[in-house]
Amino acid sequence: MNHSRKFQFFRNGWGIGSTIIMLMVLFPSMFILSGLITPASENWTHITKYLLTDYILNSTILVLTSAILATVIGVSLAWLIAAYEFPFRTALKFLLMLPLAIPPYIAAYTYNGLLNYTGVIQTFLRNHFDIQVSQQLFDIMNMRGAIFIFALCLFPYVYLITASYLEKQSAAMIESARMLGKGSFEIFFRVVIPLARVAIVGGGSLVALEVLSDYGVVKYFGIETFSVSIFTVWFGIADVDAALKLSGVMMLFVMCILLLEKWLRGRRKYAPSTTKAKPLKRIALTGAKKWIAFSFCLTVFAFSFLIPVLQLLHWAYLSFDRLDATVLAGAVANSFVTTVVAAVPIVIAAIIVANFNRSRSGFWSSLFARMMSLAYSIPGSVVAIGVITLFVAVERQLAGVFLSGTILMLVFAYFVRFLAIGYNSIETGFEKLGKKYTEAGRTIGYGMTQTFFKIDLPLIKPAVVAAFILVFIDIMKELPLTLILRPFNYHTLATKTFEYASDEMIHEAAISALLIISLCFVSILLLNRLTNRGNA
C-alpha cells in the first residue's frame, strides 16, 4: 500500500494522540542514552576505575539469585495450586497474591527489626530460654538477606502468571501425560516446566527488573548497586553527567535482562495455540501429601505476608501514642492525590494508544508496544534522572517557566514509568473484545471516536478499572522515583516510611507502612473480584 493510501486510512486523532504519547515516553530515555556519549567527568573516571565493577557485580548477583529463588518458589506454588486439591487451597490461592501488597523495603525493615538483637525473636530466646544466638546468623543486612527479602516479596509475579497459564492452557497436555502413565514429578519437570517456560521466564524477568529497580532494600542493607550509586552521585556529589552515564549503563543492563528473557523464551510465544482451552482438572491429594502441600503454601504465606504484617501491627500499637497525625494525614493525602492525578492520565493515554494499536497491526503498533515495555523496564531512579534532564532542557527553552521540583514533574515520571501497566490491561480487554463491535458501529454510521465511547468503552470497563487499580498499586508503593522527584518537603506514605526507617524510627514507620499495605490489599481484593467476575 502506498504511503498516501496508508495515511488516508489511518489519519485520525487517535493516531496523532498515540504518537504524541509515545514521544513523551521516549524522550527521557533518549536523554539518558545521549548522556553515554558526552565527555567523561572526573567523577565518572573515578567511578569506572574503582566502583563500576562492584556495581555491576553486586547488581548481577542480586538480580539473578533473587529472580531464580523467586521463580523456584513461584513455580512450585503455582503447580500445587493449579494441579492439586488440598485443604484451604482456594483461600491460599488468594492469600499467596497478598505479598504483592508489601513493598520489599517495608519487608526489609520489618525482618531486620524482627531478627536483630533487640527484635522479638532474640529477646524471646534470651528472656525465656537464656539462649544467646550468633549475631552473624541472624544478621540479614547483607546480600543473602536482600535475596531472601526480594524472593519473598516478589515471587507472586511468577506465581500469578504461571498459575494462570497452567490452569487455563495446559490441561490437554498434562492430562495426556497422566494418561501415558507419567508420575507427578516427571510431569512437572518434563511437561509443566517446558510448557510454562514462557510464563515462567516472563514472571522471572519481572522479578529481575523489580530487583534492579529497587532502592529501599539495598540502601537500607548497604549494598552498592546501580540504584544506590545513582542516588549517591546525584545527591552526594551532585554530578549530573556522571548520574546520567550511570543511568545509561543501567539501561544497557536492563536491555541485557530483556535480551536474556527473549533468549530464554526461545521461539515460543506466550499465547495458546488454540482458543478451545479447557481448565486443568485438579487431583485431590490424600493423606500426608495434602498436609505437606498445605504446609508449604502456608509457610510461604506466613513468611511473606503474615509475619511482617503482625510485626508491623505490634510496632504500630507501640508507637501509636507518638503518632503525629498531621504529618501522617498529609502523607496520606499526598499519596492519594499524586496517585490519582497520575493514574487518570495514564489510563486515558493507555486507552488512546491501545485503541489506535488495535486498529492497525504491523510495524507501528509493535514499535509502540515495545517502547512502552522498555519504559516500564527502566528502573525508577533512571527514569527520574531522564525526566529531570528533560524538564531542565524544557525550562532552558521556555525562560521563566519553572517545572523542576513540581508535582507535574513527578506525575510525568509516573506516566513514563507506569504507562505500560495500564496499556497491558486495556490491550487485554480489547483483545478479548475483538474488532467486530467497532466495525459494526462504523458500518452503521459512527466514527472511530463515537464508536469508542458508545460501544467499546462500556464493554471494556472492567479492563479500564483493572488498569487503574494496577497503576494505583504500583504508584502507591513506588519509592526511588518519588524520592528523587518529589517537591521539597513533600511526603508520600512511601517516602515517610523510608524516612522513618532510615532514621532508625522503625516503630514509627509501621503505621505508614501498614497504610500502604492496607491500600494495596484493598486494591488487590477489588482486582481479584473483578478478575473472577470476568472469568465467570
Separation CA 143–CA 155 (nearest Å): 18
Task: Cell numbers for 178, please give them.
Answer: 497422566
Separation CA 82–CA 187 (nearest Å): 13
User: Residues 330, 335, 338, 340: is their CA dihedral positive or negative?
Assistant: negative
Contact set for another protein, span 180-209 (CB under 8 A): none
> How does 214-225 read in b/e, with b if 16+ C-beta sit within 10 Å?
bbbbbbbbebbb
- Kindly state the DSSP code that residue 39 receives in the 8-state scheme: P
- Give 6 or 268: the residue with its C-beta nearer to another protein: 6
Helix (H) or strand (E) segment spanning residue 283: strand 283-284
Span of 3-11, 274-282, 296-304, 482-490 interacting with another protein by CB under 8 A: 3-11
- Binding letters toward another protein, positions 415-454, x by CB under 8 A: ---------------------xx-xxxxxxxxx------x
Contact between 310 and another protein per CB under 8 A: no
Which residue in the block uniquely carries the three cell numbers 552521585?
A: 233
Shortest distance (Å) from residue 445 CB to another protein:
5
Q: Count the residues of the shown chain that bind another protein, applying the rule CB under 8 A.
A: 25
Shortest distance (Å) from residue 10 CB to another protein:
9
Separation CA 223–CA 147 (nearest Å): 11
| The binder of another protein chosen from 39, 181, 287, 362 (CB under 8 A) | 362
Shortest distance (Å) from residue 436 CB to another protein:
4
Shortest distance (Å) from residue 459 CB to another protein:
6
Pairing of strands 84-85, 283-284: parallel
Shortest distance (Å) from residue 438 CB to another protein:
9
303 contacts: CB under 8 Å, gap ≥ 6: 152
Shortest distance (Å) from residue 267 CB to another protein:
17
- Binding letters toward another protein, positions 451-480, x by CB under 8 A: ---xx--xx---------------------
- Give 9 or 317: the residue with its C-beta nearer to another protein: 9
3-state SS assignment for residue 117: coil
Separation CA 247–CA 384 (nearest Å): 10
| The binder of another protein chosen from 118, 136, 275, 361 (CB under 8 A) | 361
DSSP codes joined into one string, 107-174: HHHHHHHHHSTTSHHHHHHHHHH-PPPPHHHH--SSHHHHHHHHHHHHHHHHHHHHHHHHHHH-HHHH
Contact between 535 and another protein per CB under 8 A: no
- Vertex 338 angle, CA 332 and 339, to 5°: 85
Contact between 5 and another protein per CB under 8 A: yes
Contact between 9 and another protein per CB under 8 A: yes
Contact between 16 and another protein per CB under 8 A: no
Q: Give residue 86's identity as a one-letter amino acid code.
A: F
Helix (H) or strand (E) segment spanning residue 201: helix 197-213
- Give yes or no for a contact between 121 and 314, defined as CB atoms under 8 angstroms apart: no
Span of 4-12, 187-195, 468-476, 502-510 interacting with another protein by CB under 8 A: 4-12
- Give 2 or 273: the residue with its C-beta nearer to another protein: 2
348's torsion region: left (phi>0), alpha (psi -120 to 50) or beta? Answer: alpha
Contact between 270 and another protein per CB under 8 A: no
Contact between 4 and another protein per CB under 8 A: yes
- Give 188 or 364: the residue with its C-beta nearer to another protein: 364
Beta-bridge mates of residue 284: 85
- Give 18 or 110: the residue with its C-beta nearer to another protein: 18
Shortest distance (Å) from residue 370 CB to another protein:
16
- Give yes or no for a contact between 70 and 157, defined as CB atoms under 8 angstroms apart: yes
Shortest distance (Å) from residue 464 CB to another protein:
14
| The binder of another protein chosen from 144, 360, 370, 432 (CB under 8 A) | 360
465 contacts: CB under 8 Å, gap ≥ 6: 526, 530
- Which residues form the interface with another protein (CB under 8 A)? 1-2, 4-6, 8-9, 360-362, 436-437, 439-447, 454-455, 458-459
